[in-house]
Amino acid sequence: MGAKSKTACQRIRRAFLLPSRYGFSSTKFLGNLERMVALLKRHEVVGTFPITAKVLEWHPELAGILDGMEVAVHGLRHRNLTGLETNRQIAMMKEAIGIFRSVGLQTNGFRAPYLRWSDSMMEAVSGAGFLYDSSVPSGWSCGSEFDSLAEMTEALRSYGIGGTANKLPTMRSRLVEMPVAIPDDEILIDRLGITNPEQLSRALTAMTAAAIQSGGHLVLQLHPERFNFFEKALDEALKRALGEGAWVAPLGEVAMWWLKKRPGEHNWPQEAPCALTVSGDIDAVTLGDFIARRLGR
């Protein structure tokens, strides 16, 4: 099958998966989100939830559910920003920050929709006053069982990842960039079709082990709508990370640490073997949100 028809097939498959992830009402999504937040709280972990601002405006109840968690801006709308002029991007980001404030949420971080970023977007993120960004995809090993799959290589390539990637935060003038780990739950579950909790646990635990071994910062990306699939995997990855003394912290805290870290100081507080962040992008809460996205609202 040609690359174009393959992509078209994947799109159709994903469109069919949507009704199984969301409902016409918000009950299904919010239930999964509540359970994900409860799991993080059981481990005393603060996760980072990047939210598309318009989705937050339509569903302000998200603010209450995410009490005690960190939030970040995931676009004003769920749109690729890279073709837009920097000033236009800054205006959209500021409008998004205003929506967060209107529901009582403070935020100092940004993640690009579709993880599509450019130098001009990074300039805009800085210009809009954010402290950190987490939009650059970074390839992580999730064990030989999965790394060698052709679909995995193809999925990584769709994010422009061909080999080893940066595993530590970097500075872009005043902005802290913390790369997001690929594969995410969308690749593992929807593209590779791995729905068995044991297999997903092995994948996430292998990524955690790679973080401990490399001393890097693993930023997991787990969308709340697939929580019923990755619940066990996240639970086990957190047990492993915390058991090995990893520093598990939200993106804002890691960014602050990185900014204040003195030259020569250990990469992580208390000489932790690695850092781990659990992030979960909120692009939509209902099927209607997808329709609104298609209509450009």
Task: Decide whether 90 or 115 has the Cβ nearer to Zn ion.
Answer: 115
Task: Decide whether 80 or 86 has the Cβ nearer to Zn ion.
Answer: 80
Angle subtended at Cα 92 by Cα 89 and Cα 97, rounded to the nearest 5 degrees: 125
- Based on its alpha-carbon atoms, the radius of gyration of the chain, rounded to whole angstroms, reads 18
Minimum CB distance to Zn ion, residue 77 (Å): 11
Q: Could you tell me how many residues make up the chain?
A: 297
Task: Decide whether 28 or 74 has the Cβ nearer to Zn ion.
Answer: 74
DSSP for 234-261? Answer: HHHHHHHHHHTT-EE--HHHHHHHHHHP
Minimum CB distance to Zn ion, residue 74 (Å): 6
Task: Decide whether 113 or 280 has the Cβ nearer to Zn ion.
Answer: 113
Task: Decide whether 74 or 240 has the Cβ nearer to Zn ion.
Answer: 74
Q: How far apart are CA 126 and CA 107, in angstroms?
A: 13
- How do strand 48-51 and strand 70-73 relate by DSSP bridges? parallel
Q: Name, in order, each residue with C-beta under 8 angstroms of 107's C-beta and a sequence gap of 6 or more.
A: 71, 72, 73, 97, 100
Minimum CB distance to Zn ion, residue 137 (Å): 12
Task: Decide whether 225 or 236 has the Cβ nearer to Zn ion.
Answer: 225
Minimum CB distance to Zn ion, residue 56 (Å): 13
Task: Decide whether 73 or 209 has the Cβ nearer to Zn ion.
Answer: 73
Minimum CB distance to Zn ion, residue 92 (Å): 15
- Tell me if 66 sits within 8 A of 38, measured CB to CB: no
- Tell me if 222 sits within 8 A of 185, measured CB to CB: yes
Minimum CB distance to Zn ion, residue 152 (Å): 20
Task: Decide whether 231 or 283 has the Cβ nearer to Zn ion.
Answer: 283
Minimum CB distance to Zn ion, residue 275 (Å): 23
Show the beta-strand stretches assigned E in the chain. 48-51, 70-73, 109-110, 132-133, 137-139, 170-172, 175-177, 180-182, 217-221, 247-248, 275-279
Using Cβ positions, the residue closest to Zn ion within the complex turns out to be: 283
Residues lying near Zn ion in the complex (CB under 5 A) are found at 113, 281, 283
Minimum CB distance to Zn ion, residue 89 (Å): 16
Q: How far apart are CA 196 and CA 29, in angstroms?
A: 20
Residue 45 in tokens: 């972990």
